[in-house]
Structure 1
Amino acid sequence: MLESFRDSCRFRQYMPSKPAKYGMKLFSLVDTMMFYTKKLEIYAGKQPEGPYFQDTSTNALVKKMIEPISSTGRNVTMDNWFTSVPLAEQLLTDHNLTVVGTMRKNKPEIPNEFKRKGLKVYSTVFGYKQKETLLSYCPKKDKTVLLLSTMHNDGVIYETSEKNFQKSLNFIIKRKEE
């Protein structure tokens, strides 16, 4: 998230797509059942080489953030900036954590059948690989949403969850278009 901040600071970020264009970029690990922030990191930009160097790659950041919940069998819900198949596999095998998250279409591990446009509206395509499930959903014409899960391993869509899913996706798409 971007916490609004207009003063001068070396690691102040500019994000034109956010309501507050300038601020501090924060990453947080939040327990959604207890509404409790377990860990919070400030993004300080790309780090120079030296004795205080910190790896700011998405994989390193996720591994640092999940330290308090490693090996607890919980689920981690991620943004599309973090979600990738190798990271999901690693969290499942090394840390006993499942992952659910939307994915960007530019990831090399995504088959072309899941990225293609022209799918029928409200159509869903499932793909399975060992313990991962990849879902491609078309909420409107020429719009595809990709979802990766290591928590779910069947292609069953219940009528009530399909309606809730459609409402959630419409909300997400609407927010991204604004």
Structure 2
Amino acid sequence: MMCDCNSKYMTNAIPYIGKGTVPEGLGAGEYFITKLVETVKIRNRDITMDNWFTSLPLLKKLRTEYELKAIGTLKNNKKELPTEFRDVKYRKRSTKSSFSFFQPNITAVSCKPKPDKLVTLVSTLHCDSSIITNTGKPEMTHKH
């Protein structure tokens, strides 16, 4: 479902009716996001998504082919992430610590705001991985 953040109205939706909904060879997240954004592509919009949809290849595709900027959480086991983001030994790091990496037009931050919570964010909206010291959360989590 795609919703406008100001009006809170749904602007587009595609029902997921189980296996067979997505064409073979295409990930479900990429399929649904690219279908949903067809109506707003090349309009300098910002897309926010959760970790079920987010991937680095999708963010690159949205940026280059659709001229859309995006931010989203990312599952920590994604193979496109550096070892520090995926390896179990790095998950035991100290609270309020973070790792970041940069690629052209993409910033990723792995932060540990609480002892039992590890969050990875990726963004084509931000080029800074600043962490707010009193919360341990990336600055990119706040309104932009």
Gap runs ≥5 in structure 1? 1-27, 48-52, 170-178
* Map of 2:123 onto structure 1: 149
% identity of equivalent residues? 32
Computed over aligned residues only, the root mean square deviation of the Cα atoms, in angstroms, reads 2.3
TM-score, normalised relative to structure 2: 0.82
Which amino acid is 1:136 matched to?
S
Gap runs ≥5 in structure 2? none
Go from structure 1 to structure 2 and tell me whether the alpha carbon gap of 1:62 and 1:70 turns closer, same or farther (over 3 Å shift): same
Go from structure 1 to structure 2 and tell me whether the alpha carbon gap of 1:117 and 1:156 turns closer, same or farther (over 3 Å shift): closer
Go from structure 1 to structure 2 and tell me whether the alpha carbon gap of 1:153 and 1:44 turns closer, same or farther (over 3 Å shift): same
32, 36, 39: which one pairs with 2:12? 39
**C-alpha distance in 2, partners of 1:54/1:155?**
34
**C-alpha distance in 1, partners of 2:118/2:135?**
17
| 1:109-150 deviation per Cα after TM superposition (whole angstroms, max 9, x unaligned) | 011112321211011221101110010000222532111101
* Structure 1 counterpart SS, 2:7: coil
TM-score, normalised relative to structure 1: 0.67
Contact map agreement 1:119 1:142 (CA 8 A) in 2: no
* Map of 2:113 onto structure 1: 139
* Structure 1 counterpart SS, 2:130: coil
Q: Does 1:111 align with 2:82?
A: yes
**C-alpha distance in 2, partners of 1:157/1:121?**
12
92, 96, 116: which one pairs with 2:67? 96
* Structure 2 counterpart SS, 1:86: helix
